[in-house]
């Protein structure tokens, strides 16, 4: 064996460059299962130039009003933001029952979900307490059947940017993690009454490419036949954003179908910002996106979501320490996450 080959064999391997440098601050609230780190500073700096591309209006079909950003989040950080949110957020696999006539069926949500925010009738004060949006007085005990949680800084930073771009306001952030191409969501519309008429919803895609399909709801017969609009297919890439507004939710359905092939082996995160007007919206979102089950965290070694318990040393959150109550920032030792997802301090 040549000397250079021997030297190369015994030379320590160069550690992989971290995908992101962890922020030393974290959002903290009693309703969080663990502190949630702030968005890495480098990501914040690059997001200052968002949107990376101007939005393209898609309104050439009946009742359709979209703005499509390809991408909104710069491609240089889109996958890093995906890794960060997958690693740092708490997720849930919600189960619930629906009743069709006398038959009750258990539904297992085919994706991991989490949610933050509270409707327009309430807000969080500086101490993290829920207060009346108008008077500022503490909300009466039992107002909600759930425990609303403030939007953590890592998502609130993106919410504020999105509000500036879209000229809309949002008080809720829903996050879906699709583990692979088998995870999906069927055709539906976000037209709940608690969103009000013609709601605006900003939907971000991070990670694997997935098709976003849309079709018009059935058109009732009238004196003159109306041709059914052509379906829409958007190939969402990492960092893309679709703004749905106007009559889109009222008149159109959208879905993320199952997918096969190499891209199907990769995970995807969907973030939606929306505005709930009344407490029914808060209770609905927490029931179907948090539920009553346990917390899941990304397990980097196993490369999968796994059940998590407070104090679990295998997770990043387990190295931070206990919650201190209220809303605040918690300092962490300098840490970074490698390409393999391992914690390095």
Q: Which residue ranges are tagged as binding site for 2-oxoglutarate?
A: 176, 178, 188, 254, 268, 272, 274
* Residues 6 or more apart in contact with residue 118 via CB below 8 angstroms: 124, 130, 148, 150, 171, 172, 276, 282
Going through 246-332 in order, the beta strands assigned E by DSSP cover 252-256, 268-274, 295-299, 304-308, 328-329
Cα distance between residue 70 and residue 88, in whole Å: 25
Closest CA to 27 of 168, 204, 155: 155
| Residues placed in the known binding site | 176, 178, 188, 191, 254, 268, 272, 274
Return phi, psi of residue 207, to 5°.
Answer: 100, -135
Cα torsion through 331, 177, 115, 56, rounded to 10: 100
| Residues placed in the known binding site for substrate | 191
12: number of Cβ within 10 Å:
5
Residue with tokens 């949107």: 51
Q: Most distant CA pair in the chain: distance in Å?
A: 88
* Residues 6 or more apart in contact with residue 109 via CB below 8 angstroms: 93, 94, 95, 96, 288
Contact between residue 119 and residue 279 where contact means Cβ atoms under 8 Å apart? yes
Closest CA to 316 of 147, 158, 83, 31: 83
Q: What residues form DSSP beta bridges with 172?
A: 117, 274
Cα distance between residue 18 and residue 21, in whole Å: 7
Residue with tokens 């990043």: 316
């Amino acid at each position: 064996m040549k000397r250079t080959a021997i030297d190369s064999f015994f030379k320590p391997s160069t550690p992989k460059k971290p995908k992101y440098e962890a922020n030393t601050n974290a959002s903290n609230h009693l309703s969080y299962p663990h502190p949630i780190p702030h968005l890495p500073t480098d990501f914040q700096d690059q997001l200052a130039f968002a949107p990376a591309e101007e939005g393209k209006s898609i309104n050439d079909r009946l009742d359709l009003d979209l703005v499509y950003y390809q991408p909104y989040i710069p491609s240089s950080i889109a996958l890093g933001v995906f890794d960060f949110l997958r690693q740092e957020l708490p997720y849930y696999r919600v189960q619930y029952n629906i009743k069709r006539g006398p038959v009750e069926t258990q539904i297992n949500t085919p994706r991991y979900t989490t949610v933050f925010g509270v409707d327009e009738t309430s807000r969080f004060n500086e101490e993290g307490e829920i207060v009346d949006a108008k008077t500022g007085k503490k909300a009466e005990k039992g107002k909600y059947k759930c425990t609303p949680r403030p939007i953590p800084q890592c998502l609130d930073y993106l919410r504020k940017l999105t509000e500036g771009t879209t000229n809309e306001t949002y008080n809720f952030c829903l996050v879906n993690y699709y583990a692979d191409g088998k995870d999906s969501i069927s055709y539906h519309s976000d037209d709940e009454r608690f969103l009000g008429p013609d709601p605006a919803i900003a939907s971000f895609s991070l990670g694997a490419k997935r098709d976003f399909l849309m079709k018009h709801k059935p058109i009732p017969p009238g004196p003159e036949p109306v041709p059914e609009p052509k379906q829409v297919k958007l190939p969402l890439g990492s960092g893309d954003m679709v703004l749905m507004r106007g009559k889109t939710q009222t008149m159109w359905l959208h879905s993320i179908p199952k997918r096969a092939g190499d891209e199907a082996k990769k995970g995807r995160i969907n973030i939606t910002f929306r505005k709930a007007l009344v407490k029914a919206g808060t209770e609905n979102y927490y029931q179907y996106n948090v539920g009553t089950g346990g917390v899941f965290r990304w397990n980097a070694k196993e490369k999968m979501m796994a059940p998590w318990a407070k104090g679990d040393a295998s997770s990043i959150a387990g190295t931070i320490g206990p919650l201190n109550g209220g809303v605040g920032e918690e300092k962490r030792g300098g840490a970074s996450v490698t390409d393999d997802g391992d914690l390095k301090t």
